[in-house]
Amino acid sequence: MGETPTKQPNHWLTLQSAGSGGPWGCRIESVGVKVPAQRLTTRDLMSKTSHRTRIQLERLTGIHERHVVGPGEDSFTLATGAARDCLSHSQHQASDIEMLISTSITRSKDGSSQSFEPPLSLYVKQAVGATQAMNFDLSNACAGMLTGVFLLQDLVARGEISCGMVVSGEYISHLSWNAARQIRSLFSKQLASLTLGDAGAAVLVERAPDSSGIEVIGFTTLAEHSRLCLAFPSSLGPGAQMYTKSRTLHKVAIQDMAPLVAETIGAAGIDLGDIDYLIPHQTSARAIRSGTKEFVRQLGTRPKHVVINLEEYGNTSSTTLFVALHKYLEEQKIRKGDRVMLLALASGIEIGIAIFTIDSMADNYGHTH
Amino acid sequence: MGTRIEAACAQAGNGGRKTTARRLADAAATHCLALAGCRPRDVDMLINVGVYREDNMGEPALAALIQEDIGANLGHPPTGGSGTFSFDLLNGACGVITALQIESGLLRSGVIQLGAVVSSDVQPDLEKPAAPFLRPAGGAILLKADDGLAGFTDFYSETFPEYADLFTSGLVWRGRSGHGIRGPRPEAGRNQMVVSVRSGYEARLADCAEETTRRFLRRLGLGIEDIDLLIPAPAAPGFVDPLRTKLGIPGDRVAYTPEDLEEAYTTGPIAALQAAIKSGRLSEAENTLLLAGGSGITIALALYRQTPP
Calculate mean pLDDT across residues A19-47: 93
DSSP state of A351: E
| Confidence check: pLDDT of B127 > 90 | no
Give the model's pLDDT for residue A1.
41
| Confidence check: pLDDT of B42 > 80 | yes
Close Cβ partners of A239 (under 8 Å, ≥ 6 residues apart): A106, A108, A113, A114, A171, A172, A174, A175, A178, A233, B173, B191
Q: Which residues in chain B have their CB less than 8 angstroms from residue A224's CB?
A: 68, 74-76
Claim to verify: residue B104 and residue B213 sit in the same structural domain: no
Longest dimension (CA), chain A: 62
Helix axes A246-268, A285-299, angle to 10 degrees: 50
Task: Establish how many alpha carbons lie within 13 A of residue A365's alpha carbon, considering only the half-sphere containing its beta carbon.
Answer: 24
What CA–CA distance (Å, rounded) separates A200 from A319?
6
**Nearest-Cα residue of chain B relative to residue A240:** B58
Decide if B167 is inside a domain. no
Q: Which of A50-64, A142-156, B208-222 has the lowest mean pLDDT?
A: A50-64
Decide if B107 is inside a domain. yes
Nearest to A119 among B58, B92, B191 (CB): B92
Give the model's pLDDT for residue B187.
60
Claim to verify: residue B224 and residue B141 sit in the same structural domain: no
Q: Which residues pair with A243 in a beta bridge?
A: A230
Confidence band (pLDDT; 50, 70, 90) for B41?
A: very high
| Confidence check: pLDDT of A225 > 60 | yes
Confidence band (pLDDT; 50, 70, 90) for B244?
A: very high
Burial A52-68 (b: 16+ CB within 10 A, else e): ebebebbebbbbebbbb
Q: Which of A283-292, B131-140, B247-256, B272-281 has the lowest mean pLDDT?
A: B131-140
Claim to verify: residue B21 and residue B124 sit in the same structural domain: yes
Claim to verify: residue B138 and residue B41 sit in the same structural domain: yes
Amino acid at B170: G
Interface test with B, best of A17, A49, A116 (most B CBs within 10 A): A116
Q: Which of A21-35, A244-258, B9-23, B279-293 has the lowest mean pLDDT?
A: B9-23
Decide if B192 is inside a domain. no
Calculate mean pLDDT across residues B54-70: 95
Q: Does B171 touch chain A (CB under 8 A)?
A: yes
Q: Which residues in chain B have their CB less than 8 angstroms from residue A140's CB?
A: 60-61, 87-88
Contact between A281 and A314 under an 8 Å Cβ cutoff? The reply is no
Domain boundaries, chain A: 14-363
Confidence band (pLDDT; 50, 70, 90) for A369?
A: very low
| Confidence check: pLDDT of A229 > 60 | yes
H helical segments located in chain B: 21-36, 62-70, 95-109, 201-220, 237-247, 268-278, 281-284
Give the model's pLDDT for residue A19.
75
| B42 contacts A5? CB cut-off 8 A | yes
As a whole-number percent, the residues of chain B with pLDDT over 90 amount to 77
Contact between A15 and B111 under an 8 Å Cβ cutoff? The reply is yes
Contact between B49 and B91 under an 8 Å Cβ cutoff? The reply is yes
Q: Which domain holds residue B243?
A: 156-161+199-305
Calculate mean pLDDT across residues B179-203: 77
Close Cβ partners of A45 (under 8 Å, ≥ 6 residues apart): A57, A176, A180, A194
- Give the count of domains, chain B: 2
| Confidence check: pLDDT of B179 > 80 | no
* Comparison of pLDDT for A253 and A314, the residue scoring more: A314
Confidence band (pLDDT; 50, 70, 90) for B17?
A: low
Claim to verify: residue B125 and residue B235 sit in the same structural domain: no
Decide if B191 is inside a domain. no
pLDDT digits (tens, 9 = 90+) for A96-147: 999 999 999 999 999 888 999 999 999 999 999 999 999 999 999 999 999 9
As a whole-number percent, the residues of chain B with pLDDT over 70 amount to 92
Concatenated DSSP letters of B174-216: EEEEEEETTEEEEEEEEEEEEEEE-TTHHHHHHHHHHHHHHHH
Decide if B32 is inside a domain. yes
ipTM of the complex: 0.95
- CATH number of residue B78's parent domain: 3.40.47.10
* Vertex A338: Cα angle to A336 and A340 (nearest 5): 125
Chain centroid offset of residue A165 CA = 14
Claim to verify: residue B33 and residue B129 sit in the same structural domain: yes
Chain centroid offset of residue A78 CA = 15
Q: Which of A68-82, B159-173, B185-199 has the lowest mean pLDDT?
A: B185-199
| A221 contacts B86? CB cut-off 8 A | yes
Decide if B173 is inside a domain. no
Q: What are phi and psi of A237, to 5 degrees?
A: -175, 175
Where a domain ends, among B122, B148, B174? B148
What CA–CA distance (Å, rounded) separates A263 from A9?
12
Most confident of A137-141, A236-240, A260-264: A137-141
Decide if B241 is inside a domain. yes
Claim to verify: residue B138 and residue B53 sit in the same structural domain: yes
| Confidence check: pLDDT of B107 > 70 | yes
| A236 contacts B173? CB cut-off 8 A | no
| A20 contacts B77? CB cut-off 8 A | no
B 151-170 residues with CB < 8 A to A: 157, 159, 161, 164, 167-170
What CA–CA distance (Å, rounded) separates B186 from A21?
55
| A105 contacts B170? CB cut-off 8 A | no
CATH class, A14-363 region: alpha beta
Decide if B187 is inside a domain. no
What CA–CA distance (Å, rounded) separates B164 from A115?
13
B 219-258 residues with CB < 8 A to A: none
